Chains A and B, each alone.
Chain A
């Protein structure tokens, strides 16, 4: 038992048992498949537009008569895009690391330690789930301008460095870690941080992965706060940059679509590669969180 398994999540990624093939089953499959095609059609049209020349941009054909990567060359050659891309990766990564560490540390502490005030701390953290971010942006903004955090990476990142959702999720998963393991480590002479870091944390690796997916995706697509807190074009994250790029380009829809594709493709590709893993993570986070 090296890793605590979550059976439901595993069952979701598995294909259902075979059924007898009949007409009903075939129609069901066809309809589902057609629905799936409709679901990805917007993405397909976005990609199609991004490799079209303007003259056939508004035709309905999905496969361009004359595909071109000129649009990508122009968008990726635009130094701002590279910068926004880098900003988003950096910010999403740092915030994710911070969440992984602090959320699990707090979740672990609240789960495995008995001390006066534990319940109050837990309820207090949990209660922040009720507060919408939109309520906090004004005070955050005021705070940022007071401390000179406006238009800085830290300014974009600080509100999300820890989340109640992640803390709660990790606490739930630490419940599945048997106390005996920790006790054994304690007898071996490890200190409490070592027990957390070397014994408990590796046991909840799947939960960490689930949390990482959510936090990263959330920060990668975050819009309203980066929009408010950034000033200069150099500090924009990809969504904020994309918005200003799109407003600027309004006539050139092929450029707007290429920009959208650049902002979307990385996560789509990551998903296609790690599909089972990501869906398992989503189920775990969704059901426990």
Chain B
């Protein structure tokens, strides 16, 4: 951009800029900022859509703090994160690392891993829900039975249900992570590897000393991105447990489902639900900041 400009042209350009931005600014203010502020305000109010809003101070937060279901849900939300992120990233990295070294039918194999990413979570939740059914209809249990094993209660179990619901979410996200890892791997200059080869460094050392450190930006991105995804899980849980949403015994209920039920599940406790969304916001913010801090520093 030229440094010396005619002032009138300069002014005209500024006018153009604001013209371009006018509608978007209206959009961001009304559809993003105002609702955000409204959610915060609402979290200090009691409101069921019918009667006027009523200020209640920190009541919603106090109720939340004293609600055992909330703490159960809070824990579940983090379990989704703590299992989901490492498991999916480790699998994705292993696949990407090896896929990067395979030429024969490379595109086909990549497509196999990527296809689930193109699916709708709702559709897949129903497919997996069918797989998880007990004998005689569930695919997994029928397989187990045909091999002579006793059946596993996938969804009707307080311990198995959460991983069972999480599995399709991990499965669907792998393709994306693999591709991003591949991009990261290929961004590493070949000369680094050649130098290591000349020095006679072993494969594992190359992985540990060269590949992983150089992949750090990719990993930071994927960790933050997938963590946010797992903390916001909803579609899979909601569709796989429609008979008793988030059940059994709230074993699969994540925060977003609790929010949905509080706000739209019949009692319309909008203020209470808003307080829950503020908690979700804080969780996402804090988790992202911690991850960025830790991964950047190392």
Contacts and interface: CB of A to CB of B under 8 A. Distances in A.
Asked whether the complex places CB atoms of A and B closer than 8 A, the reply is: yes
Interface of A: 8-9, 11-12, 15-19, 25, 28-29, 31-33, 35-37, 39-40, 42-43, 45-46, 49, 57-58, 60, 102, 105-106, 108-109, 112-116, 118, 121, 124-125, 128, 130-132, 134-143, 145, 158-159, 161-162, 167, 179, 183, 191-193, 196, 217, 220-221, 223-224, 228, 238-240, 242-243, 246-247, 253, 256-257, 259-261, 263-264, 267-268, 270-272, 275-276, 279, 282-283, 286-287
A279 B137 contact: no
Interface stretch (B66-74, B150-158, B174-182, B205-213): B174-182
Interface string B1-36: 110000000000110111011011101100111111
9 contacts: A28-B101, A36-B109, A43-B119, A113-B13, A138-B277, A253-B130, A259-B126, A272-B111, A282-B176
A138 B120 contact: no
A128 B30 CA distance: 12
B264 A135 contact: no
B27 A115 contact: no
A169 to B, nearest CB: 13
- Interface residues of B, dominant DSSP: helix
B227 to A, nearest CB: 12
B98 A8 contact: no
A257 B281 CA distance: 35
A209 B131 CA distance: 36
A262 to B, nearest CB: 9
Contact of B1 (A46, A58, A114, A238): A114
Contacts of B183: 8-9, 11-12, 283, 286-287
B115 A128 contact: no
Nearest to B135: A58
Contacts of A132: 228, 232, 277, 280-281, 284
Given A113-B13, A128-B28, A142 B98 contact: no
Contact of B234 (A32, A223, A259): A223
B104 interface: yes
A277 to B, nearest CB: 12
A282 B260 CA distance: 30
A38 B153 CA distance: 22
Given A40-B112, A275-B111, A286-B221, A128 B32 contact: yes
A39 B113 contact: yes
A239 B270 CA distance: 25
Nearest to B9: A186
Contacts of B21: 106, 109, 121
Given A16-B102, A256-B130, A43 B277 contact: no
Nearest to A103: B24
B285 interface: yes
Contact of A136 (B32, B112, B115, B120): B32
